[in-house]
Amino acid sequence: MDDLYLSTLKKYWGYDNFRGIQRDIIESIGSRKDTLGLMPTGGGKSITFQVPALSQDGICIVVTPLIALMKDQVRNLRKRGIKAAAIHSGLSHEEIIVMLENCIFGNYKFLYVSPERLASELFLTKLRHMTVSFITVDEAHCISQWGYDFRPSYTKIAEIRQTLPNIPILALTATATPEVVKDIQHQLAFQEENAFKMSFHRKNLSYVVRNADDKIGELIHILQSVAGSAIIYTRSRKNTREIAELLSHEGFTVTFYHAGLNDAEKDLRQHQWQEDKARIMVATNAFGMGIDKPDVRLVIHMDLPDSIEAYFQEAGRAGRDGQKAYAVLLFNKSDRTKLMKRIPDTYPDKDFIRNIYEDICYYLQIAMGDGYNVTREFNLDEFCRNFKHFPIQVNSALNILSRAGYIEYTDEQDNASRIHFLLKREELYRLRELSPDKEKILQCVLRNYGGVFSDYVFIDERRIATLTQLSPDLIYHQLIDISKSGILHYIPHKRTPYITFSCKRIEKERILLPPEVYEQRKDEFKKRIDAILYYAEEQEFCRSKVLLHYFGESNSADCHQCDVCKTIRNHPSNDREKRATITTLILEKLNDGCPHPFSELIFPNYSREDISSVLKYLLEEERIGIKDGLLYLA
């Protein structure tokens, strides 16, 4: 079997050997054992399920939450002559049925689905007739309630084992603490614990924390100092645009990306960056997963992420080609305050959560004792205006109520455009005075979408645009005009949150929020906040070592290339304890608020050279300042 795996690797990817723990994972799932693989970003996760799937009979079901990742991997597999398909919200009901039938009879090797899709009756019915080799769960940390990115939809994955009881599962993730590793295997009902872990050490990646009050100035300085492709992460959608515009004025080629852009805009911007037409991508954390660009030289975070896991995954997108790269975090005193505020924002007071439940019932007109299985569109902005709430806390309350089992809250569900002809087919031929563009659009819809006269059918304006050689914007406006004329009913694509009531409405006082839903998760969230703050503020220990220790690699060595290691290496005495003591003495002296000359910062038992070295470091890190020859606390 080893030869078969190697020949498959060589045939489709052109590689002579596997890397790291790839072979171990492949042999484990190939022998039909439930398997968990932990591999850092860029470690070659996709090889670990694609090679064994191609070496076996049947189809591999790949569960992933990211439509962009599905499309990207399916496109890459098809380029290699491998039959693969992906089911996502952009497909019509008929297209999904055809695709599932092809997976039963068409010798497909991979079917990508979202975790939500697993619960649909149509999918489960068709799945029973497929010959399945194994199930791959990507981003497996999403199933753990103790992880940083828990998603309730992932808990449904284990239920598929009832439909396919003898089919093994391969779970893959790039970030997981030892506690989460154990929980993933429990949640996926592993027959026995079986995890393979690749070291998270990235010898080519230099981790740097810069204390910077002027983050934009520091950002420009870094971009001018380090050449090559870059990603800049920021928390807000507004900031992605503003930073991109500012950098463009400075002469950089730059684009931006966030979840609020439509699919066409996302694809265009991603393509511009991947093809190096734009050197810099400014983005929220919506960008990055599954992006196959190995030559990223620089990842800069303008804001602190909520966790070490999120930071490590995003920073790890630099230097996947093995060449020198930098992960830079820009940090100042206000970042601690902002991040600590996220604790009460994410876990608001219990009485507030109960009041939100009652307000939602009033807003959606759910009577006491009613509401079971009722689903309603939920306009978060309108709700907050009407009831005078802040959106961040409301969104958090809705997520907690979902975990407690009172509602199911689907944030910004992506609904594809739908169309339904109101006229009969023969009536269409009697129409006169339609513009050439409208006739072209109608003919394209009729040729490519079935069932449009009997029911609403999902359509894709970009596909119609490609087939008609018209722009998506023109397609949209023409369909609106045709809809107004009564020929058809067109419901454009929209992103709409939904609330489904999981039980009948009850009095708010009866809402129970048990420790595993509230207190325990709040404590875990606070621990993750503390961990990322420790990473940002620590000045004595190797950055890489701090990260690796968090993920359970306690015996790792110093990296000798992060900002802390370089400072220590350049220090004459190389004595951390001495340096830490001098730092404390200087900061205590300057803490009186008065500027001091160098002569007042000479301390017994320490040489002028050691003190000067520490002062130089504190000045470079902007923890102290100098004016007119006097030193002061920054």
352-393: pLDDT as tens digits: 999 999 999 999 999 999 999 888 889 888 999 999 999 999
CB 47 within 8 A of CB 18: yes
Sheet holding 488-491, edge to edge: 457-459, 417-421, 488-491
Cα Rg, the chain, nearest whole Å: 28
Percent of all residues in the chain with a pLDDT value above 90, rounded to a whole number: 50
Q: Answer whether residue 564 is part of any domain.
A: no
| 183/211 same-domain check | no
Mean pLDDT of 245-252: 96
Residue 449 near residue 457 (C-beta atoms within 8 A):
yes
For residue 462, give both structure tokens.
């970009």
- The 10s digit of each residue's pLDDT in 130-175 is 999 999 999 899 898 777 778 777 888 888 888 898 999 999 998 8
Residue with tokens 């199911």, as numbered in its chain: 408
**What distance lies between CA 13 and its chain's CA centroid?**
27
Q: What are phi and psi of 424, to 5 degrees?
A: -75, 160
Lowest mean pLDDT among 520-524, 564-568, 575-579: 575-579
Which pLDDT band holds residue 397 (cuts at 50, 70, 90)? Answer: very high
Average pLDDT rounded to a whole number, residues 167-185: 92
Instruction: Give yes or no: residues 325 and 459 share one domain.
Output: no
The answer to whether residue 92 is domain-embedded is yes
Assess whether 216 and 193 both reside in one domain.
Answer: no
User: What are the start-end ranges of the H helices in 106-236?
Assistant: 121-127, 160-163, 178-187, 215-225
Give the chain's mean pLDDT: 88
pLDDT of residue 72: 79
275 lies in the same domain as 331: yes
Q: What is the pLDDT of residue 415?
A: 63
State whether 251 and 277 are in the same domain: yes
Average pLDDT over every residue of 75-91? 84
Residue 159, pLDDT score: 84
Judge whether 144 lies within some domain.
Answer: yes
Residue 451 and residue 401 share a domain: no
| Span 50-77, pLDDT tens digits | 999 999 999 999 998 877 678 778 888 9
CATH of the domain at 265: 3.40.50.300
Q: CB of 317 within 8 A of CB of 291?
A: yes
Q: Which residue has the tokens 């009850």?
A: 506
pLDDT of residue 495: 66
Do residue 248 and residue 377 come from a single domain?
no
Residue 224 lies inside a defined structural domain of this protein: yes
Residue 625 pLDDT class (50, 70, 90 cuts): confident
Q: Which residues, other chains included, contact 530 with Cβ-Cβ below 8 Å and sequence gap of 6+? A: none
Neighbours of 138 (CB within 10 A): 24
Mean pLDDT of 248-270: 87
The lowest-confidence range among 104-113, 142-151, 319-328, 506-515 is: 142-151
**Amino acid at residue number 70:** M
DSSP-assigned letters across all residues of 381-448: HHHHHHHT--HHHHHHHHHHHHHTTSEEEEEEEEEPEEEEE-S-HHHHTT-----HHHHHHHHHHHHH
Q: In this structure, are strands 296-301 and 229-233 parallel, antiparallel, or unpaired? A: parallel
Confidence of residue 570 (pLDDT cuts 50, 70, 90): low
Residues 175, 551 contacting (CB under 8 angstroms):
yes
Cα gap 487→510, rounded to integer Å: 51
Domain boundary among the residues 148, 171, 197 is at 197
User: Has residue 565 been placed in a domain?
Assistant: no
Mean pLDDT within 406-418:
74
* pLDDT score of 496 more than 90: no
pLDDT of residue 431: 73
| pLDDT at site 2 | 52
Residue 28 pLDDT class (50, 70, 90 cuts): very high
CATH number at residue 373: 1.10.10.10
Contacts of residue 517, defined as CB under 8 A and 6 or more positions apart, other chains included, come to 400, 403, 404
Residue 480 near residue 470, CB atoms below 8 Å: no
**pLDDT at position 357, please?**
97
Split at pLDDT 50, 70, 90, the class of 541 is confident
Strands (E), 450-595: 457-459, 488-491, 494-501
* Domain final residue, candidates 197, 218, 246: 197
| Tokens encoding 399 | 């997520």
Say yes or no to pLDDT of 262 above 80.
no
List, edge to edge, every strand of the sheet that includes 35-38: 84-86, 110-113, 59-63, 132-137, 169-173, 35-38, 195-197
- Is the pLDDT reported for residue 571 higher than 80? no
Task: Give a yes or no: residue 324 inside a domain.
Answer: yes
Per the structure, the count of domains in the chain is: 5
* Same-domain check for residues 543 and 585: no
Better pLDDT: 629 or 22: 22
pLDDT on residue 107: 80
Same domain, 510 and 403: yes
Q: State both tokens at 538.
A: 């620590």
Q: What is the pTM of this model?
A: 0.73
3-state secondary structure 76-120: HHHHCCCCEEECCCCCCHHHHHHHHHHHHHCCCCEEEECHHHHHC
The mean per-residue pLDDT over the stretch 269-295 comes to 88
Residue 90 has pLDDT above 70, yes or no: no
pLDDT in tens, 434-492: 888 998 999 899 888 888 887 778 788 888 988 899 988 889 889 988 888 888 888 88
Q: If you ran DSSP here, which 8-state letter would residue 470 be given? A: -
The beta strands (E) that lie in 39-107 are given as 59-63, 84-86
Q: Are residues 302 and 352 in the same domain?
A: no
Q: Which residues pair with 407 in a beta bridge?
A: 501
Tell me the residue type at 617. Y
Specify the pLDDT at position 629.
81
Q: Are residues 451 and 481 in the same domain?
A: yes
Distance CA 93, CA 89 (A): 10
Query: What would the pLDDT profile of 430-447 be if each residue is shown by its tens digit?
Result: 677 788 899 899 989 988
Q: Domain residues for 373?
A: 348-415+497-517
Cα separation, 76 vs 80, in Å, equals 7
Please give the Cα distance from 171 to 186 (Å, whole number): 12
Cβ–Cβ under 8 Å, residues 226 and 326? yes
Report if residue 174 sits inside a domain: yes
Residue 555 domain-assigned (yes or no):
no
Q: What whole-number distance in Å separates Cα of residue 497 and Cα of residue 627? A: 54
Q: Same domain, yes or no, for 290 and 396? A: no
pLDDT surpassing 80 at residue 87:
yes
* pLDDT band at residue 554 under the 50/70/90 scheme: confident
